[in-house]
Chains A and B, each alone.
Chain A
Amino acid sequence: MLEDGRITDRQFMLLIIVSRLILSLTYLPALNSPPENQDVWIAGLLSFPVHLLLAVPAYLLAQRFKDRSIIQSAELILGKTGKIIGALYVWFFLHMTALTLRQLSCYLTSVPYPETPAPVFIIVTALFAALAVGYGVETICRTGEIMTPVVMFSIFVVIILIAKDMDLKALAPMLEKGIAPVLHGALTIAARTVEILFVTMLLPYLNQPGTAKKAMAWGIFFFIFFFTIITVSIITTFDVEQAINRTFPFFSTVRLISIGEFLERIDAVHLGIWILGLFIKISIYYYLTALGAAQLFNLQDYRPIVLPLGTIIVSLSVLQAENMVELREFTSYKVWTWYALFFITFLPLILLVVAVLRRREVQAR
């Protein structure tokens, strides 16, 4: 077996939360997606059923092939053609790793370290993530188990401290443009939850596979809860127009905190927690890349290919966008939604349909 670690349903849930939530603490592309006004938080709330809907094919597929990842089950369903789909997923996880690394370095080079070249951060982070990947899924999940409560707690603290600057009138008028853009927004928010794919990769390592459904639903629920309070706090501290134009909306909100001329500069602590959370996200996608590639090529161990994959990830991360504007263009809802939906829902749906038609199931082993 490639990986003999086991993870609990709580770890699985926290991993989904931290991985999905952590980028919302700086980049919040949802603000620039439809409905592009004060109704973003409604879109966030409404995205819960959309999330669940999008997750159904991936979940059913994972349940059908309980001890196989999507890369292995694709091969079982489609034969040799399945390899292509497996390769696509390895590419997707690789791209997610590179993208997240780039988003980390973009933030660091634009605010705290304007003079440091971006590849420095990409390479150093990738090296540390490679260490975590070498330790295996158990270690990554346990690190997440320690860090995620800290992330959630820090969001609560920020919201409490900023509460006096909030102006809830900024949320009015509700549903200014009608319900259709809000629903569109809900779809774009749900399409960013690539973490749905965790179930297809990590279900074989859950110590109680039956709890995956609940863990996923709770993870998505908590994410939406925090997403909503984050967007509400941003929109109510700034105006909508200002909030939309900010590159790092929540970070700007944190900077505003000033209590008694003593409790200031919380953003330093916030930045630290953000880096740690992002580290977990990078590690898990890096891990899925390595694990997926090892499964694709039927390797005995994924560890030897961690560093070679790292070179690809680092180069891709540096090369994929000239600057932040290009990066934001790619991650905007117009491009990202369809790119991600293809992997999150479309491919699992096809695999599931073919599996049902061909009556492929896991033989009792």
Chain B
Amino acid sequence: MFHKTGQILSRLIKQWSPNKPRPAADQNEPLSSSIQVNLNKISSVFANASDLVIRQLQIGTREQTEAFVVYLDGLVEKTIVNDNILEPLTLELRQAQANGGVSRKRVLALIKKQVLSVGQVKEATTVQAVIDAVLSGETVIVIDGSAVALVANTRGWETRGVQEPPTESVVRGPREGFTETLRTNTALLRRKIKNINLKLETMKIGKQTKTDVCIAYLKGIVNDKLVEEVKRRLAEIDTDSILESGYIEQFIEDAPYSFLPTVGNTEKPDIAAAKLLEGRIVILTDGTPFALTVPYLFMEAFQSSEDYYSRPFYSTIVRWIRFTAFFLSVFSPAIYVALTTFHPEMLPPALLISMAAAREGTPFPAIVEALGMGVIYEILREAGIRLPKPIGQAVSIVGALVIGESAVTAGLIGAPMVIVISITAIASFVVPAISDVTAVMRLILTVMAGIFGQYGIMMAVAGILTHMVSLRSLGVPYLSPLAPTNIPDLKDVLIRAPWWAMSTRPRVIGWHRPVRQKFHLKPEPPSDTNRDRT
């Protein structure tokens, strides 16, 4: 039913949105062979751009040729432009001509092949290509008498270094995180996977921002249909701006009307590499350290990179701690409300008496307490995130003292409710990837518990469960490998099997080539020789 509504809505939106053909770019014309025409065109396009640098030169000695070099200050590496472009153009070309003499016609080829000592030099034939190159930090050399411009890669700008990301910190494992620069991020991935099969396809998205977006996948492991589907979805994005990967996420996700995320994100190259190696696709976006991973399944939220670096026994326990924390953070307010409002007889008598005593004299029913405290907790959390750090402490003091202590002493809320909300809050931090999801689920469950008690909780669970089961991420069932059950895949969900036992990749995603490593890799002591001696 919701699919239906969604279809109608999206159809309406499509009808409303003006789908006019874009005006043909007048810059799409080819470059002229007259340098003056080219100069005028480029400077008129870049009018009022104070960071544009146009350096006019005369190159050669016998036949002086007009030329100019154009780049955007701040986007280029100045030393490269000075030492490897301007200096050779002005000095070395002169020597070359002095030695043999070069005709005007051959000067372009000479510059490209012998003069410029820059790693990557391309040719541009249209004004638009020149503009795009300049905007992305490249240096363009235009020479009189030639309708072809040379584009030298001189990109280099102020960036943040590779640091430990604040969102996914680990005790054991690599600490480097993605940065805001796409090239750095792809390099970080390449350093993890030294394999020609690691494909990095780049496209530009955003009519205004022209953001570089890179699709990374491991050919041979990934399902090619998934790659095609991701490319199709990305190509369909027709928007002004992509400032963060979150924009892309909302354009390509499978279930836009669901509160559950069907696209994952990570800030760490080792996690991204692991996802690639499982047959997933990573989408890197220029300007943000957050890479998207698809397909994203619900159970990935309970997997941490550290699980795989530590030994399996404790990892398995920690994984179950996460499941427990998730259930606590989703269910505890609802169960508390249901117990106090509808089913006091379910509590052991001693607990019931102490809870009733604590709630004695509080003015609000349990459901109002639960919702109110939930809202106050969310306010405190949001305030703590946005405020500068020194003030943030003040917020937590106010929250802890005033709301935790004074409100109970004043008899406004019962002490058990404060405990319940605290458990909820702490537990939701254990599974940070889906803390927003738990908040929504908690709200649904608490409201249903307030109306119907235990029956309401169960109906809400049934509703949420059927909804989750119905979702897909790029065609992969969202709750797999739980439903549809895939028993071999449970080795990395319900437990964390030791590495020598993880012989197959997750079949749901990597069915293309499921075998990851040799079977029977279990380490064993050498057979007999040592035993005799001891």
Contacts and interface: CB of A to CB of B under 8 A. Distances in A.
Interface stretch (A33-41, A135-143, A179-187): A135-143
Interface stretch (A57-65, A264-272, A347-355): A264-272
Given A124-B452, A128-B459, A145 B484 contact: yes
B466 A275 contact: no
A146 B493 CA distance: 14
Contacts of A121: 455
A292 interface: no
Interface in A175-222: none
Nearest to B478: A142
A293 B469 CA distance: 25
Contacts of A303: 1, 4
Contact of B455 (A112, A130, A135): A112
Contact of A145 (B347, B453, B455, B485): B485
Q: Counting chain B CB atoms within 10 Å of each CB, which of A142, A146, A275 scores highest?
A: A142
Contacts of A132: 462, 466
Interface in B423-469: 452-455, 457-459, 461-463, 465-467, 469
A171 B466 CA distance: 42
A265 B469 contact: no
A139 B452 contact: no
A159 B470 CA distance: 33
Given A10-B485, A142-B479, A135 B466 contact: yes
B87 to A, nearest CB: 67
Contacts of B465: 143, 146-147, 276
A108 B455 contact: yes
Interface in A245-294: 264-265, 268, 271-272, 275-276, 279, 283
A279 B458 contact: yes
Given A131-B466, A134-B1, A146 B455 contact: no
A10 B458 CA distance: 24
A256 to B, nearest CB: 15
Contacts of B458: 272, 275-276, 279
B510 interface: no
A265 B347 CA distance: 8
Contacts of A138: 470
Contacts of B477: 142
A83 B175 CA distance: 69
A112 B470 contact: no
B336 to A, nearest CB: 13
Contacts of B347: 265
B459 A124 contact: yes
B483 interface: yes
A264 B349 CA distance: 11
A47 interface: no
Interface residues of A, number: 35
Contacts of A283: 466
Contacts of A30: none
B2 A134 contact: yes
Contacts of A265: 346-348
A130 B347 CA distance: 34
A231 interface: no
Contact of A113 (B4, B455, B463, B466): B455
A103 interface: no
B459 A268 contact: no
Contacts of B243: none
Contacts of B2: 134
A8 B477 CA distance: 14
Interface in A1-56: 8, 10-11
A11 to B, nearest CB: 7
Nearest to B346: A268
B469 A131 contact: no
A296 interface: no
A243 interface: no
A125 interface: yes
Contact of B461 (A8, A11, A276): A276
Contacts of A272: 454, 457-458
A268 B1 contact: no
A306 interface: yes
A49 B432 CA distance: 53
A143 B469 contact: yes
A275 B454 CA distance: 10
B52 interface: no
Interface in B127-153: none
Contact of A146 (B3, B4, B479): B479
B455 A142 contact: no
Nearest to B469: A142
Contacts of B479: 142, 146
Nearest to B338: A268
A275 B459 contact: yes
A125 to B, nearest CB: 7
A187 B459 CA distance: 34
A276 B462 contact: yes
Contacts of A279: 458-459, 462
Contacts of B483: 142-143, 145-146
B343 interface: yes
A112 B484 contact: no
Interface in A293-329: 303, 306
Nearest to A147: B465
A147 B462 CA distance: 10
A229 B461 CA distance: 28
Contacts of B467: 131, 135
Nearest to B485: A145
B482 interface: yes
B470 A139 contact: yes
Interface in A130-170: 130-132, 134-136, 138-140, 142-143, 145-147
A189 B454 CA distance: 31
A128 B463 contact: yes
A272 B3 CA distance: 29
A50 B1 CA distance: 41
A277 to B, nearest CB: 10
Contact of A112 (B3, B453, B469, B485): B453
A143 B483 CA distance: 7
B77 to A, nearest CB: 55
Contacts of A147: 465
A155 to B, nearest CB: 18
Contacts of A271: 454
Nearest to A108: B455
Contact of B462 (A8, A128, A145, A306): A128
Contact of B454 (A125, A146, A268): A268
Interface in B337-353: 342-343, 346-348
A139 B466 contact: yes
15 contacts: A8-B484, A10-B485, A108-B455, A112-B453, A112-B454, A124-B459, A132-B466, A139-B466, A146-B482, A147-B465, A265-B346, A272-B454, A275-B454, A276-B465, A303-B4
Interface of B: 1-4, 342-343, 346-348, 452-455, 457-459, 461-463, 465-467, 469-470, 477, 479, 482-485
- Considering the complex of A and B, which 8 residue pairs feature the smallest CB-CB distances, nearest first? A142-B483, A275-B458, A135-B470, A134-B1, A139-B470, A142-B469, A132-B466, A279-B462
Given A11-B484, A128-B459, 14 more contacts: A112-B455, A135-B467, A143-B462, A143-B465, A145-B484, A146-B465, A146-B479, A147-B465, A265-B348, A268-B454, A272-B457, A276-B458, A276-B462, A306-B1
Interface of A: 8, 10-11, 108, 112-113, 121, 124-125, 128, 130-132, 134-136, 138-140, 142-143, 145-147, 264-265, 268, 271-272, 275-276, 279, 283, 303, 306
